[in-house]
Amino acid sequence: MLDLVLVNPGSRARIYQALGTSLTAIENPVWAGLIATFVRVRGFSVAIVDAEADDLTPDATAARVAELGPRLVAVVVYGHQPSASTQNMTGASACVTALKTLTPTTPVLMLGGHVAALPERTLADEPCDFVTRDEGLLGIVGLLEALRGTSDPDLRSVPGLVHRQGGRVVVNPAAPLVTDLDRDMPGVAWDLLPMTRYRAHNWHAFGYPTRTPYAAIYTTLGCPYHCSFCCIQAPFKGGEAALALSSSVNSYRFWNPRQVVQEIDRLVAAYGVRHIKFADEMFVLNQRHVIGICDLLIERNYGLNIWAYARVDTVKEGMIDKLKRAGFNWLALGIEAASDRVLADVDKRYRRSEVFETIARLKAAGINVVGNYIFGLPEDTAASMQETLDLALDLNCEFGNFYSAMAYPGSPLYDTARQAGWRLPEKWSGYSQHSVDTLPLPTRHLSAGEVLAFRDHAFNVYFSHPSYLDLVRRKFGEATVAEIHDMTSHRLERRYASA
């Protein structure tokens, strides 16, 4: 009997509207792939059903799982980036409902960033049997061991498990974080994934004839910073406490550079991958780790097209040349806002001159920049949002992501919003930046509708600006300009643009 099926639920159309058809990435479920490896190392059999990549309805997903007949199903709720877990709950919920309708006796577990942030609510709201309040690795193994050979398993010793017992909810102590990633979770189980189905974001492949083959990997887990709008640490806080780490300290774990590059070796040799995303919340940080990976990739000279996240203040002079030579053609920088007052309020501080200096150095080295901007942080006004848009136009990065501030479950901003009584989305899909029912936070000075309307205005202004289109034409050609025009032709439907 198959021990475990991991399910990556599909909800791209609901989350991205028309943009999901051709412009967004279709990413391999990194966490599902890592969990599969972790379970295999311990002797359990496992399969992955990627409903997102295979474009399966919830009912079709349930049918495929039923054919496999597993001892346990785990629905893994993560997204393209760490803050995207909550928006995927809509698809995950539909998937769990279909599973329990078709095979009501098959145990179903839910885990992921959103689930770890709100474990008891998730168990109350969803028809699943169990959830985990941590990263779930040791919990899945403990649950599989408990389910083997018995119809009445003892769940009390399964670490991190939240479950029902005798009409009440039982919350087991969290499992400690897995600390030896190279030994316990050496990479993604690529052989279990439909590798031909994945594609890069449209901008990642600007100037390339195709967006495939593509893969996303992690080289680190966690982030040491404490931006109040970020929920990246939600799955890790219980495990940090179990290791007796201070609540004020965020864990940051590494795979060895050689292990990382061996994984890339396999992607190149077995699947022909050249477009790669380093999905780490903060890759460009630890110089020894970054340089170690770069040196090994430079030796191989694969001709890769990689992108990764960085901060304005972590891109050091000695890294830039090696990043480019290793194949890092894009770095995404969290610029967020132009106003020092707005940034300080969310615990993000750097000098504005640093932004210009860092981007100038990256561009001089031939590295393209994705500028990430947030409108509607608590201290934002109409004037400060315009200041952020003006900054984006001045910087004129090769791509820009424009977000509305969201109080994601698991972030300090979520706690602040609840305590202040700010209106939050009625459905989990409302946490998607691109959905019909997106509902961002109001600021202390603006309504949610004003923030959302400005965000959509900023997107259209930026991508239709002559200076930006001239940059794209020079760097990537006329065909890419046509892609930009196609992208801006998709106007998002918004229910709360006047809220």
pLDDT, tens digit (0-9, with 9 covering 90-100), for 290-305:
999 999 999 999 999 9
- Name the one residue in this structure whose structure tokens are 């599909």: 10
Q: Are 65 and 7 in contact (CB under 8 A)?
A: yes
- The alpha carbon dihedral of 386, 388, 389, 393 has a sign of positive
| Residue 16, pLDDT above cutoff 60 | no
| Residue 402, pLDDT above cutoff 70 | yes
Parts of the chain belonging to CATH 3.80.30.20: 199-219+255-405+440-488
Of 3.30.465.10, 3.30.200.20, 3.40.50.280, 3.60.9.10, the CATH number of 4-171 is 3.40.50.280
The pLDDT confidence band at residue 494, using thresholds 50, 70 and 90, is confident
pLDDT of residue 10: 84
Q: How many CB atoms lie within 10 A of CB 248?
A: 6
| Residue 2, pLDDT above cutoff 60 | yes
- Mean model confidence pLDDT for the chain: 93
Least confident of 84-98, 288-302, 345-359: 345-359
pLDDT per residue as tens digits for the range 122-174: 999 999 999 999 999 999 999 999 998 777 788 989 999 999 998 899 999 99
Parts of the chain belonging to CATH 3.40.50.280: 4-171
- Please, what's the b/e burial string for 87-97 (b: 16 or more CB within 10 A of its CB; e: otherwise)? bbbbbbbbbbb
Q: Tell me the β-bridge partners of 254.
A: 220
- Name the one residue in this structure whose structure tokens are 């999905």: 279
**CA-based nearest residue to 332, from 283, 387, 292:** 283
pLDDT of residue 81: 67
Which fold does the domain 199-219+255-405+440-488 belong to in CATH? pyruvate-formate lyase- activating enzyme (3.80.30)
